[in-house]
Amino acid sequence: MNQKKREQIFDHLAACIPEPTTELNYTSPFELLIAVILSAQATDKGVNKATEKLFKVADTPEKMLALGEEGLKSYIKTIGLYNSKAKNIIETCSILVEKHDGQVPRTREDLEALPGVGRKTANVILNTAFGEPVIAVDTHIFRVANRTRLAPGKTVRQVEEKLMKVTPKRHLKDAHHLLILHGRYTCTARKPKCGQCCIFDLCEWPEKLDYVE
């Protein structure tokens, strides 16, 4: 795929998705951090349902620590892996209070040092909370990048590095959400909606014609 086509893909996605943003509900970088940690192997809808009640009683690291691990579990027990997530969140809150004055750090190094925070989560926080031009590659973005041939790669890191190179600068800030929303609702894993796709003519997926109704 040539660069001109890549730019057209992002232009079309931006036109089709005028307000690209996360579907996780949050009002502060801290709430976003907790929501993203909880979202691993869980749906945004499920996370939002849990955090709606949780954030009313614990919307700061200090309040979350006061809640305690067992108290936290009572709010997130509907979410997969809630035991390990509760442990990571309490440890993370302790670090935030002790090392960062209760604030979410703005560097990748400090973010990835938090329990339960890997490169993808760090990228989400840097991009969504702080507006950094980085791309967090999840399963949706990995699929879209490979299927369309926009930025093919065998690993998540390869796809991320390729996307960072080929994404037009004007779209870097929103690229993460443009691609994830496209993958979540149009370029789905099963039965992609190719007939409704705004980048159909630009996509290089050999099987796309099989999914036009």
Average pLDDT, the chain: 95
Which parts of the chain have pLDDT scores under 50?
none
Catalytic residue among 49, 63, 87, 120: 120
pLDDT of residue 64: 96
Same domain flag for 106 and 172: no
Same domain flag for 59 and 82: yes
pLDDT of residue 141: 97
174 labelled catalytic? no
Same domain flag for 112 and 141: no
Domain of 65, in residue numbers: 29-129
Q: Which of residues 94, 109, 129 is at a domain's end? A: 129
Same domain flag for 107 and 54: yes
Same domain flag for 86 and 104: yes
Same domain flag for 171 and 81: no
138 labelled catalytic? yes
Same domain flag for 154 and 102: no
Same domain flag for 63 and 90: yes
pLDDT of residue 119: 94
pLDDT in tens, 25-60: 999 999 999 999 999 889 999 999 999 999 999 999
pLDDT of residue 83: 94
Catalytic residue among 73, 85, 138, 162: 138
Q: Which of residues 90, 110, 129 is at a domain's end? A: 129
Q: How many domains, in total, are found in the chain?
A: 2
CATH of the domain at 176: 1.10.1670.10
Distance CA 172, CA 174 (A): 6
pLDDT of residue 187: 97
pLDDT of residue 213: 77
Same domain flag for 71 and 153: no
Same domain flag for 172 and 199: yes
Q: Which of residues 129, 144, 174 is at a domain's end? A: 129
